């Protein structure tokens, strides 16, 4: 089972880079929506990994079972969609309370 | 599986107070006044059962055992085969009734070679337990009666008796338990009762603080105890005290030591111990560690240095509680446990025990010299006497230490109850305005005089004999190990101080004439009239009769002769009780030889010094009184203030332990604010600086402006800036940093 | 890559999943009832109606769990093979017993929720609680990483929303938001670790991963494991971060105090008990079963690595949790730090089980003790949170001082709360004591190769449990030693029965722990020995995808 001319490591590096960018975004951005987007980026980086690993695997062993990486990726996409929906709902709720979508403003609980 | 009917007798004696407690708690509103009767009835029936048990034991064990006759034949069935095996060399096993059940079996391990994790419960009644039962129930019954009058009119009168019943159950359970595990359960239960009763008048903040202090200090000791028990369990695989004792008494390392202790030059030496038929091994250093751990628990419970600070404060509870729990029974449980576990302690640990006891008795005695609160005098005196007991155990005087435990229980309970009677009449604990109460309270004065004579060690009173026994053990030990002469100096000087402060207290309370608040240069407490003793009168019969009754054993239980048919021929001056105890000792007693006569001489000498000084300083007659205490105090100067302030223990603990702990507690919650945020903001500054590049590409101008300002603030550093916690991004930064640090840790190891 | 066509799903297996299915459908029913027949009714009446209806969910689960007992063996899924749906989900004693525990906790949480009106959207709220329970049940049963991840997400997404459900309270919205963002990041890290693990082993089945790791270790002839395996180590670490978030282990704990304090008390209770319970079971499955061969690489205790990292996390978790709890005034926040501390204790137990696993023997005793501890902790902590619900209902706030004088006003419940506190401290004769004792004794009994590390951890745990006595004692003092004019009033039934039930459990399992310990031990043994269903013989041998070298410049096969 070949994966074309692009070696697997390229995909993995790309995924790692996307993941790092996502993490950086979460840490650096104060806008809640941007944070949400960064989280999506991290999830999708993992998806790239999953799909790439699936595509490059030789053949499924008995351990692999019927669930392959690509199916994992599809499920992760749906989970990500659910997370976005929940995230938007929470952001709206917080926006109504604070009139701001700045995550640094939500700091009434501390200590 | 109980091997004798007497065992059930004792089970009943333990359980009856529990049943009484349940009834009282459920009917707290229903019974009101009757709760006192229920509680008293319960403990009185336990007393009767204990007395029957005592008589039965006396008969079953063939009368009073001769102390030095080896190979006494016990005629009743010996319960534990392990115990029988261990004592087979030279000594027949003393009679003991036992019953063992498995409370919890956490199942055999899934693998066959694993020992099952079973938690046994059981009772074991030997000579020591028989005596302890009689002592505890006797004193507790009297104190119940006493409390009926003393606590009269208190809004929580029924609750008080319910707690007392719970305490009696826990204390009797502690004495009867055969397994370490059950001992620990009851150990905690008595602690909880003590906590509830110290804080009984919780409206006063200082009382609930005292309760908390007692609770917390005891938990510190309990950690050590748990560690010790855990070590023992992993090494020996049993919770049964008799098995552990039997195994450890037979360890061959005892042969090499003149005092019969487990000694080893090599901490790595491994002892083979027979536990219930299987051979197990325990390294010497683990044995030492386990011994120290268990002793730590006893240090907490018996208020030994350096954990003695809770007991004086614990006197905030009602006086009957002080008499029962914090003088006669619970605080002695630490001593009792050291006695129970005696074979466990190796030579090093015994030395630690001896010195702890010595230091405690000396410290507490010096503090008691200068207290102006007569209940505090008694409190420190209790600490000091407990130190005597520990010292006795530490130098190998097993019987002497436990003998003193029993005599002390009676005379100290008497003294506390007398103090309570005084307080009942004058409503203050301050010695200074009082005086001349002898005429107004003749019974209290007389009985307290008996108690004072006993604790001071006047011949013919019980305290003399037990203190004499302790000194004899100490002299014997020091003659074997001259390097440890301090272990004789400390108790001797402590005994002298005891005689001094007790007579001081008695003189100040009962002789001369009442001084009044103003003469003492004080403002009256709680708006009392100037002379607190003006309206004082003798307390009612329910207070005075317990005092009278307690005075009898206070005098008598140390005597060489008792009303019992004895076989003590040849030892006319040897206390019966001590002989009885030494026949039950887990290790054969050491012959003391000439130490006994030296001890008698020493104790008389220190008695004369102590009492003499007290007469010179506090006797009401001008012709005898030659020393002015105030000038003496001035001479002592710094030493005096050291004593008055209890050697500054509370202050030192406050500064060294309590404050740092609180500070750490507060800090820990604010670590984010102070430390982590500092780091984070430094890193965040870098992140944000980088992110400006990113932001330049997207977002609105306003956003960029805001982030630029934020970036500036970050870049200027979190230094001096008041930082808020609760920010999500700082949390995530912690997460990332933690991940990176952990990764570095793992990768360094992986790549290595 | 065409997957070999699997056999069709045997629908009789769905019987074993009936609790999950029931709760899922019942959540939908609750939603419909709330927007349908109850439309326009005032909030408090809908609260009572929907809440009572919601209670039918866990009761139904009990009925389903008890049905095979009544019907006799073999009536329900009496399949000797404990795995379901191609081996992705286990139907073993672990899953069954924890389904029961989760249903019990759910019933208690529902009861507490019915105490006061903190929201208007009762249908949605109760449905979320039920669906979170579904997530927990699947998480406990998951035998495959995708199912595990989906269950984890189902559980937490429901909880994110539920945490933000308290109307008119800023802190509730903030709690939900923080929980969500922190949780999502942790999920992403977890998923990335999962993807790496998939890449390394070519499978997502826990038992499959175990087999591949065992075989590759055998192939290289080394002790196997992680040494030199940079990617594997990263994957393990990422997965640990994900679980660390769910367990609120230091340093991944910071969301917990804020979320617990801000969320409504029942939701905090649900996060502290159910979520932690299910996540710890999943963590144990992954670490003790799937990744067990890698534990062997750790070598002696000086070898560091995984064992030392978990040990450091455990030590930091219990110490930090206890110290921080000392300074707290708010009951829920205090309980949050207390739950962090308890996570630390349990990690010590997990560590002992790991150490035992790597010595080759079955670690079921240690793991069983951890499960026992977990169940006892969950029950008592839910009871303690019920007190917070009581205060929130009566006074609108939940500081420890608000408990003042309850010992006089409601002596019965105060005694029950006192029992719970004693159990959380670990004093005999409560179950908290027995569980601590059993767990720490098992830790001391664990494989000797890491004894000094474990002994140190146990000693530290004991010191910590002493420290914990200070802040739990503050609750006791408020209950019994203080007076106050303000009273939260008599406890509603929804609050009182969870407290009483938890206290009864604390005393009952303290006096008679053997049945629970035994069932937990057999659950643990099932957890550690579960295997994939026998595979069709025509499939080729396993092949890990990538033997990724340390350098990261992954030399790839074509």
ipTM here: 0.93
pLDDT, one tens digit per residue, over B204-213 is 777 877 887 7
Q: What is the pLDDT of residues C10-54, one digit of tens each?
A: 677 777 888 999 999 999 999 999 988 888 888 888 999 999 999
Please tell me the distance from the alpha carbon of residue A84 to that of residue B278, in angstroms, as a whole number: 65
Q: What is the reported pLDDT for B314?
A: 83
- Give the C window 38-77 contacts with B, CB below 8 Å: none
Under 8 Å between Cβ of C420 and C383 = yes
Q: How far apart are CA A22 and CA A43, in angstroms?
A: 9
Task: Quote the tokens at residue C202.
Answer: 């070519």
Decide if pLDDT at B118 tops 80.
no
Confirm if C198 and C208 have CB atoms less than 8 A apart: no
CB-CB under 8 Å, C324 with B668: yes
pTM of the model: 0.70
Q: What percent of chain C has a predicted confidence (pLDDT) above 70?
A: 85
Least confident span in B462-466, C4-8, C14-18, C524-528? C4-8
Q: Strand pairing partners for B440?
A: none
What value does the mean pLDDT take over residues B187-214? 82
pLDDT of residue B751: 63
Which chain A residue has its CA at the smallest distance from B734's CA?
A: A27
Encoded tokens for C271: 């996060």
Which one, of C505, C386, C378, C377, lies nearest residue C111 by Cα? C386
Subunits next to B (3 or more Cβ pairs <8 Å) are: A, C
Q: Mind spelling out the 3-state secondary structure of chain A?
A: CCCCCCCHHHHHHHHHHHHHHHHHHHHHCCEHHHHHHHHHHHHHHHHHHHHHHHHHCCCCCCCCCCCCHHHHHHHHHHHHHHHHHHHHHHHHHHHHHHCCCEHHHCCCCCC
Longest dimension (CA), chain C: 78
CA gap B320, B323 in Å, rounded: 5
Segment 306-335 of chain C within 8 Å of chain B by CB = 306, 308-309, 320, 323-328
Nearest to B731, CA basis, from C408, C490, C58, A110: A110
Please tell me the predicted confidence (pLDDT) of residue C267.
95
Does residue C61 contact residue C103 with C-beta atoms inside 8 Å?
Answer: yes
d(CA B605, CA B589): 26
**B690 with A104: Cβ contact below 8 A:** no
Paired sense of beta strands B270-275 and B278-283, if any: antiparallel
Question: Which tokens hold the place of B608?
Answer: 């004369």
- From the candidates C200, C323, C463, which should be mutated to test the interface with B, based on the most B CB atoms within 10 A? C323
Q: Does C25 touch chain B (CB under 8 A)?
A: no
How many Cα atoms within 13 Å fall on the side-chain side of residue B243?
22
Task: Provide CB contacts within 8 A for C189, sequence distance 6+.
Answer: A42, B739, C238, C241, C242
Kindly determine whether residue A27 and residue B703, on different chains, have CB atoms separated by under 8 Å: no
Average pLDDT estimate for B123-132: 86
Residue B724: cis peptide before it, omega within 30 degrees of 0: no
* Interchain proximity A27–B670, CB inside 8 Å: no
Model confidence pLDDT, tens digit, residues B730-744: 888 878 888 888 888
Inform me whether the pLDDT recorded for B678 exceeds 80.
no
**Is beta strand B278-283 parallel, antiparallel or unpaired with respect to B97-105?**
unpaired
Least confident of A32-46, B63-77, B284-298, C359-373: B63-77
CA distance A110 to chain B (A): 4
Contact C86 A65 (CB under 8 A): yes
Q: DSSP letter string over C372-386?
A: HHHHHHHHHHHHHHH
DSSP H helices, C271-305, are 276-284, 292-295
Instruction: Identify the three-state secondary structure at position B98.
Output: strand
* Closest to B174 measured CA to CA, from B2, B331, B350, B392: B331
- Look at C438 and B728 and tell me if their CB atoms are within 8 Å: no
CA dihedral B574, B579, B585, B591 (to 10 degrees): 40
HSE at residue C492, side-chain half, CA atoms within 13 A, is 19
Nearest to B668 among C234, C245, C327 (CB): C327
Tell me the pLDDT tens digit for each residue of C442-478: 887 776 667 677 878 888 898 888 778 878 888 887 8
Burial of B545 (0-12, 13-18, 19+ CB in 10 A): middle
Token reading at C5: 């066509």
Q: How far apart are CA C184 and CA C186, in angstroms?
A: 5
**Separation CA B160–CA B144 (nearest Å):** 10
Using a CB-CB cut-off of 8 Å, the residues of chain C touching B215 are: 469, 473
Integer Cα distance of B170 and B162 in angstroms: 13
Looking at the predicted structure, is the pLDDT value of residue B315 above 50?
Answer: yes
CB proximity B645 to A under 8 Å:
no
B666/chain C closest Cα distance in angstroms = 5
Asked whether residue C397 carries a pLDDT value surpassing 70, the answer given is: yes
Which residues have CB under 8 Å from B561's CB, separation 6+?
B576
Least confident of B69-73, B340-344, C163-167, C255-259: B69-73
Which chain C positions have a beta carbon within 8 Å of B120's beta carbon? none
Q: Do C328 and B184 touch (CB under 8 A)?
A: no
pLDDT score of B393 more than 60: yes
What residue segments make up the domains of chain C, in order of their start? 11-527
Q: Are B725 and B672 in contact (CB under 8 A)?
A: yes
**CA-based radius of gyration for chain A:** 18
C489 touches chain B (CB under 8 A): no
pLDDT for position B441: 85
Domain A8-110 in CATH 1.10.40.30? The answer is no
B751 part of contact set with chain C, CB < 8 Å: yes
Which pair of tokens denotes residue B474? 């100490």
Residue B429: partners with Cβ closer than 8 Å, 6 or more residues away: B373, B374, B375, B376, B419, B423
Coil/strand/helix, residue B373: strand
Query: Per-residue pLDDT averaged across C513-540, rounded?
Result: 73
- The confidence score (pLDDT) of residue C223 equals 53
Which residues of C fall within a CB distance of 8 Å from A64?
202-205, 208, 542
Whether B504 has a pLDDT exceeding 80, the answer reads yes
CA C436/CA B77 separation, integer angstroms: 38
- Chain B, 20 to 49: residues with Cβ < 8 Å from chain C are 28
Q: Cα(B349)–Cα(C351) distance, rounded to whole angstroms? A: 33
- Asked if the C-beta of C174 comes within 8 angstroms of chain A's C-beta atoms, the answer is yes
Considering only the beta carbons, identify the residue of C3, C199, C545 that sits closest to A66: C3
Q: What is the pLDDT of residue B669?
A: 57
Query: Across residues B102-113, what is the average pLDDT?
Result: 57
Secondary element (H or E) of residue B442: helix B442-456
| Average pLDDT rounded to a whole number, residues B126-131 | 86
| C40 in Cβ contact with C32 (< 8 Å) | no
pLDDT at B78: 37
Contact A90/B at CB under 8 A: no
DSSP string of C21-78, one letter each residue: HHHHHHHHHHHHHHHTTTTTS-HHHHHHHHHHHHHHHHHHHHHHHHHHHHH-TTSS--
List, for residues B251-303, the tens digit of each pLDDT value: 776 766 666 777 777 767 777 777 777 777 778 888 888 889 899 989 988 88
Nearest Cα neighbor of C263 from C172, C378, C325 is C172
pLDDT of amino acid C103: 95
CA of A46 vs chain C CAs: smallest distance (Å): 5
- The pLDDT assigned to C504 comes to 94
For the residues B365-380, what does the mean pLDDT come to?
86
Residue ranges of C 500-519 with Cβ closer than 8 A to chain B: 511-514, 517-518
> Cβ contact (<8 Å) for A109 and C175?
yes
For the cut 70, the answer to whether the pLDDT of residue C299 exceeds it is no
Q: If you average pLDDT over residues C253-265, what whole number do you get?
A: 90
User: Cβ of B106 and C438 within 8 Å?
Assistant: yes
Inform me whether the pLDDT recorded for B370 exceeds 70. yes
Distance separating alpha carbons of residues A87 and B135, to the nearest angstrom = 70
State how far residue C121 is from chain B, nearest Cα, in angstroms.
27
Please report, for chain B, the start and end positions of each structural domain, with discontinuous segments joined by +. Answer: 5-66+82-105+116-522+530-644, 658-734
The chain-wide mean pLDDT, for chain C, equals 83
Kindly give the interhelix angle for A69-98 and C170-201, rounded to the nearest 10 degrees. Answer: 160
The pair of three-digit structure tokens given for residue C449, joined into one six-digit string:
């190769």
How many Cα atoms within 13 Å fall on the side-chain side of residue A103?
28
C374: confidence class by pLDDT, cuts 50, 70, 90: very high
B112 pLDDT higher than 60: no
- CA–CA distance, C237 with C231 (Å, rounded to integer): 10
What is the average pLDDT score of chain B?
A: 76
Count Cβ neighbours within 10 Å for each residue of B331-350 and write b for 16 or more, e otherwise: bbbbbbbbbbbbbbbbbbbb
Give chain A positions within 8 Å (CB) of C557: 8, 56, 58
Task: Look at B399-413, B638-652, C481-495 and tell me which has the smallest mean pLDDT.
Answer: B638-652
pLDDT in tens, B548-566: 888 888 887 777 654 443 4
Quote the minimal CA–CA distance from B730 to chain A in Å.
Answer: 8
Q: Do C160 and A69 touch (CB under 8 A)?
A: no
Q: Please check the confidence at residue B76 and state whether its pLDDT lies above 50.
A: no
Distance CA C538, CA C56 (A): 47
Most confident stretch, B222-226, C361-365, C389-393: C389-393
Q: How far apart are CA C351 and CA B456, in angstroms?
A: 57
Q: How confident is the model at residue C503 (pLDDT cuts 50, 70, 90)?
A: very high
Closest-CA residue of C relative to B728 is C178
* Min Cα–Cα distance to chain C from B748, Å: 9
Is B110 in Cβ contact with C364 (below 8 Å)? yes
B733 with A27: Cβ contact below 8 A? yes
Q: Which residue has the tokens 């994790």?
A: B117
The dihedrals phi and psi of A102, each to the nearest 5 degrees, come to -95, 115
Nearest CA-CA distance, residue A5 and chain C, Å: 8
- What is each CA distance from B16 to A102, B44, B232, B703, in whole angstroms? 66, 10, 33, 77
State how far the Cα of A71 lies from the Cα of A51, in Å rounded to an integer: 9
Among the listed residues C225, C218, C239, C240, the one whose alpha carbon sits nearest the alpha carbon of residue C300 = C225
Mean pLDDT for the stretch of residues B417-426: 87
Tell me the shortest Cα–Cα distance from C208 to chain A, in angstroms: 4
- Sort C366 into a burial class: Cβ within 10 Å, 0-12 / 13-18 / 19+: buried
Do residues C102 and C144 touch, judged by C-beta distance below 8 A? no
Average pLDDT, stretch B612-630?
Answer: 76
What is the mean pLDDT of the segment spanning B452-479? 85
């Amino acid at each position: 089972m070949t994966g074309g001319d692009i070696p697997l490591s390229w995909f993995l590096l790309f995924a790692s880079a996307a993941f790092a960018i996502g993490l950086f975004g979460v840490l650096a951005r104060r806008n809640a929506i941007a944070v949400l987007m960064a989280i999506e980026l991290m999830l999708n980086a993992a998806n790239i990994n999953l799909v790439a690993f699936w595509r490059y695997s030789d053949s499924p062993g008995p351990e692999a079972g019927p669930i392959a990486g690509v199916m994992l990726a599809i499920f992760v996409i749906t989970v990500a969609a659910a997370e976005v929906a929940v995230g938007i709902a929470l952001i709206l709720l917080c926006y109504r309370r604070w009139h701001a979508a700045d995550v640094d403003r939500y700091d009434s609980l501390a200590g | 599986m109980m091997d004798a009917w007497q065992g059930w007798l004792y089970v009943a004696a333990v359980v009856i107070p529990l049943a009484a407690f349940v009834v009282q708690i459920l009917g707290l509103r229903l019974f009101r006044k009757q709760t006192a009767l229920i509680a008293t009835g319960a403990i009185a029936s336990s007393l009767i059962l204990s007395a029957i048990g005592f008589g039965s034991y006396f008969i079953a064990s063939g009368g009073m055992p001769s102390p030095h006759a080896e190979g006494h034949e016990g005629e009743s069935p010996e319960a534990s085969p392990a115990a029988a095996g261990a004592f087979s060399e030279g000594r027949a096993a003393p009679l003991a009734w036992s019953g063992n059940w498995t409370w919890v079996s956490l199942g055999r391990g899934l693998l066959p070679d694993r020992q099952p994790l079973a938690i046994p419960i059981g009772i074991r009644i030997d000579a020591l337990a028989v005596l302890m039962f009689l002592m505890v129930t006797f004193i507790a019954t009297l104190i119940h009666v006493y409390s009926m009058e003393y606590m009269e009119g208190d809004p929580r009168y029924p609750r008080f008796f319910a707690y007392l019943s719970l305490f009696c159950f826990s204390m009797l359970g502690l004495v009867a338990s055969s397994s370490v595990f059950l001992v620990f359960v009851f150990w905690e239960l008595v602690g909880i009762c003590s906590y509830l009763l110290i804080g009984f008048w919780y409206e006063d903040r200082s009382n609930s603080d005292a309760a908390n202090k007692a609770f917390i200090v005891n938990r510190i000791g309990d950690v050590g105890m748990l560690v010790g028990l855990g070590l023992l369990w992993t090494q020996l695989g049993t919770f049964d005290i008799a098995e552990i004792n039997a195994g450890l008494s037979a360890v061959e390392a005892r042969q090499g030591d003149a005092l019969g202790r487990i000694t080893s030059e090599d901490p790595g030496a491994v002892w083979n111990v027979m536990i219930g038929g299987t051979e197990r091994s325990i390294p010497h250093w683990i044995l030492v560690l386990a011994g120290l751990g268990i002793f730590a628990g006893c240090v907490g419970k018996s208020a030994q240095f350096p954990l003695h600070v809770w007991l004086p404060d614990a006197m905030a509870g009602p006086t009957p509680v002080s008499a029962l729990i914090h003088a006669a029974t619970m605080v002695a449980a630490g001593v009792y446990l050291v006695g129970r576990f005696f074979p466990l302690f190796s030579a090093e640990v015994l030395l630690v025990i001896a010195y702890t006891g010595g230091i405690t008795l000396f410290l507490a005695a010096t503090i008691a010299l200068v207290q102006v609160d007569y209940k505090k005098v008694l409190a420190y005196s209790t600490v000091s006497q407990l130190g005597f007991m520990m010292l006795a155990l530490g130098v190998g005087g097993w019987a002497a230490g436990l003998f003193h435990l029993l005599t002390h229980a009676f005379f100290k309970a008497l003294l506390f109850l007398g103090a309570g009677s005084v307080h009942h009449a004058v409503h203050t604990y301050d010695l200074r305005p009082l005086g001349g109460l002898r005429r107004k309270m003749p019974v209290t004065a007389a009985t307290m005089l008996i108690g004072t004579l006993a604790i001071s060690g006047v011949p013919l009173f019980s305290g003399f004999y037990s203190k004499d026994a302790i000194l004899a053990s100490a002299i014997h030990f020091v003659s074997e190990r001259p390097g440890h002469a301090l272990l004789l100096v400390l108790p001797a000087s402590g005994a002298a101080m005891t005689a001094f402060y007790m007579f001081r207290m008695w003189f100040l309370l009962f002789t001369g004439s009442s001084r009044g608040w103003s003469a003492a240069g004080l403002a009256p407490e709680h708006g009392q009239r100037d002379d607190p003793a003006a309206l004082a009168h003798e307390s009612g019969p329910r207070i005075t009769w317990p005092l009278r009754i307690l005075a009898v054993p206070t005098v008598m239980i140390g005597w060489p002769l008792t009303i019992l048919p004895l076989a003590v021929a040849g030892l006319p001056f040897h206390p019966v009780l001590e002989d009885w105890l030494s026949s039950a000792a887990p290790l054969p007693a050491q012959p003391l030889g000439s130490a006994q006569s030296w001890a008698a001489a020493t104790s008389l000498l220190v008695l004369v010094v102590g009492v003499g000084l007290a007469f010179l300083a506090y006797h009401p007659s001008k012709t005898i009184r030659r020393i002015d205490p105030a000038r003496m105090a001035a001479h002592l100067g710094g030493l005096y203030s050291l004593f008055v302030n209890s050697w500054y223990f509370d202050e030192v603990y406050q500064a060294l332990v309590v404050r740092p702990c609180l500070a750490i507690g507060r800090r820990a919650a604010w670590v984010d604010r102070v430390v982590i945020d500092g780091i984070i903001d430094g890193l965040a500054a870098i992140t944000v600086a980088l992110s400006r590049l990113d932001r330049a590409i997207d977002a609105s101008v306003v956003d960029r402006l805001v982030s630029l300002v934020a970036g500036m603030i970050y870049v200027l550093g979190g230094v001096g800036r008041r930082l808020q916690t609760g920010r999500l991004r700082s949390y995530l930064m912690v997460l990332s940093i933690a991940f990176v640090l952990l990764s570095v840790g793992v990768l360094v190891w992986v790549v290595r | 890559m065409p997957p070999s066509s699997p056999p069709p799903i045997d629908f009789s297996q769905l019987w074993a999943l009936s609790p999950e299915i029931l709760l899922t459908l019942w959540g939908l029913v609750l939603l419909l009832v709330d927007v349908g027949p109850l439309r326009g009714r005032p909030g408090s009446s809908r609260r009572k109606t929907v809440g009572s209806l919601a209670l039918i969910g866990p009761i139904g689960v009990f009925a389903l769990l008890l049905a095979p007992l009544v019907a006799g063996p073999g009536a329900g899924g009496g399949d000797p093979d404990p795995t379901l749906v191609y081996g992705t989900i286990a139907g073993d004693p672990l899953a069954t017993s924890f389904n029961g525990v989760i249903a019990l906790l759910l019933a208690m949480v529902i009861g507490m929720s019915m105490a006061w009106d903190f929201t208007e959207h009762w249908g949605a709220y109760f449905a979320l609680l039920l669906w979170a329970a579904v997530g927990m049940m699947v998480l406990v049963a998951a035998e495959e990483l995708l199912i595990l991840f989906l269950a984890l997400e189902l559980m937490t997404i429901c909880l994110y929303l539920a945490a933000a459900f308290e109307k008119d309270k800023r802190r509730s919205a903030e709690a939900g938001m923080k929980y969500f963002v922190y949780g999502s990041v942790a999920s992403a890290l977890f998923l990335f670790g999962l993807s790496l693990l998939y890449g390394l082993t070519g499978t997502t089945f826990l038992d499959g991963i175990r087999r591949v790791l065992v075989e590759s270790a055998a192939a290289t002839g080394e002790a196997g494991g992680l040494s030199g395996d940079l990617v594997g180590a990263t994957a393990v670490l990422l997965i640990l971060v994900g679980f660390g978030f769910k367990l609120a282990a230091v340093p991944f704990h910071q969301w917990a105090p804020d979320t617990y304090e801000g969320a409504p008390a029942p939701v905090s209770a649900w996060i502290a008990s159910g979520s932690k319970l299910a996540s710890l079971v999943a963590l144990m499955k992954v670490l003790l079963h799937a990744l067990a061969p890698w534990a062997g690489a750790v070598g002696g205790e000086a070898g560091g690595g995984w064992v030392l990292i978990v040990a450091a996390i455990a030590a930091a978790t219990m110490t930090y949790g206890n110290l921080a709890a000392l300074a707290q005034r708010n009951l829920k926040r205090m309980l949050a730090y207390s739950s962090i501390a308890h996570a630390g204790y349990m990690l010590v137990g997990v560590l002992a089980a790991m150490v035992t696993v790597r010595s080759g023997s079955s670690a079921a005793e240690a793991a069983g003790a951890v499960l026992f501890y977990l169940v006892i902790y969950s029950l008592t902590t839910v009871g303690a949170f019920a007190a917070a619900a009581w205060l929130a209902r009566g006074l609108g706030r939940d500081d420890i001082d608000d408990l003042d004088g309850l010992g006089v006003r409601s002596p019965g419940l105060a005694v029950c709360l006192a029992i719970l506190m004693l159990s959380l401290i670990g004093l005999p004769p409560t179950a908290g004591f027995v569980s601590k004792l059993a767990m720490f004794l098992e830790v001391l009994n664990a494989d000797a190769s890491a004894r000094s590390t474990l002994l140190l951890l146990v000693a530290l745990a004991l010191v910590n449990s002493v420290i914990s006595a200070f802040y739990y004692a503050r609750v006791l003092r408020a209950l019994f030693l203080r007076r106050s004019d303000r009273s939260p009033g008599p406890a509603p039934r929804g609050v009182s029965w969870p407290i009483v039930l938890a206290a009864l459990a604390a005393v009952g399992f303290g006096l008679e722990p053997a049945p629970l310990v035994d069932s937990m031990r057999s659950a643990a043994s099932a957890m550690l020995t579960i295997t994939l269903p026998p595979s069709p013989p025509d499939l080729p041998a396993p092949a890990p995808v990538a033997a990724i070298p340390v350098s990261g410049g992954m030399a790839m096969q074509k």
